[in-house]
Amino acid sequence: MQRLASLKDEVARWNALSQRVEDTLELASLGDESLSGALTNEAEALEEEVERLEFLLLFSGPRDREDAILSLHAGAGGTDAQDWTEMMLRMYLRWAEKAGYKTEIVDRLYGDEAGIKRVTFTVAGPYAYGNLRAERGVHRLVRLSPFDAAHRRHTSFALAEVWPDIADDVSVSIDPGDLEIDTFVASSAGGQHMQKNETAVRITHKPTGITVSCQNERSQAQNRETALHVLRARLTQLEEEKQQEEIDRLKGEHVEARWGNQIRSYVLQPYHMVKDHRTGYESGNTEAVLDGQLDGFMEAYLRAEMGSSG
């Protein structure tokens, strides 16, 4: 029903645009010069709307309309990598805020000195997954380290994983016997306990080795429910990836986004540049990118993907 409602809204937008074009052409055919200013403004508005709707056509994936679950992991680089992971978290939260999406942090493990070792959060809104799947892969940062007494240049890495936040009624089978469930005390930055009870939950799916944690909610039951929701999304994505791998194998081509296969570099020293290695898209305004200005990178990825599939 949600899919049907979404498609009806999309058709309604195109029909409304078509009607506006017909009305504008009818007014233009009158030849009334007093309407020239209004017609020019309407023509520009129609062009912008066409470009916006054309962009939505790039979301061709079966899950692109879904909400998203994004997980960030610090990689090579020690404390710098953990700090970089926290910078990436802020970057995506700012992007989501500008896009009008709602976010919620599900799980976060702070670093020993600074930053975070890992974080998982949800992003809710139309086409959230369609946009964020462009971010899946390794992100590389080059800068003068604030944690190096000699202030030398350091390179650090963080991994972004993205899954569609599927509905609970999606038919993915989870055998309770395959689950190992642990509880622990939720903690915050600096190792201070948020509370004394073991409300945080960690679920391990033994057949795949996938582990999901949640410590955001106040009760153990809520955290368990949220962790199962994230696990279901990850297992569904895993199954779809297996199917896609078989299709790609039959096509004779297959490229995976594995750890170490960096998709984008953020260089803050000796020059300022953010470059996506898959599309060649780049920006010299690193401050804006780190403040969430990611739409250009996402659109370039979607257009390149559509071009390669065509």
CATH number of the domain residue 220 falls in = 3.30.160.20
Task: Assess if residue 185 is contained within a domain.
Answer: yes
d(CA 118, CA 182) in angstroms, rounded, equals 18
d(CA 144, CA 146) in angstroms, rounded, equals 6
Per-residue pLDDT of the chain (310 residues; tens, 9 = 90+): 766 777 788 788 888 888 889 888 888 888 888 888 888 888 888 888 887 777 777 887 778 888 999 999 998 888 999 999 999 999 999 999 999 999 999 889 898 889 999 999 999 998 999 999 999 999 999 999 988 888 889 999 999 999 888 765 556 778 888 888 888 877 665 544 445 566 788 899 988 888 898 887 778 888 888 888 888 888 888 887 777 676 555 545 433 434 557 899 999 989 999 999 999 999 999 999 999 999 999 999 998 887 765 5
- The domain boundary, picked from 219, 251, 283, lies at 251
Task: Assess if residue 61 is contained within a domain.
Answer: no
Residue 262 and residue 247 share a domain: no
d(CA 117, CA 115) in angstroms, rounded, equals 7
- The domain boundary, picked from 219, 236, 251, lies at 251
pTM, whole model, 2 decimals? Answer: 0.72
Residue 24 and residue 7 share a domain: yes
What is the domain range of residue 33?
Answer: 2-56
Residue 35 and residue 85 share a domain: no
Task: Assess if residue 62 is contained within a domain.
Answer: no
Residue 118 and residue 262 share a domain: yes
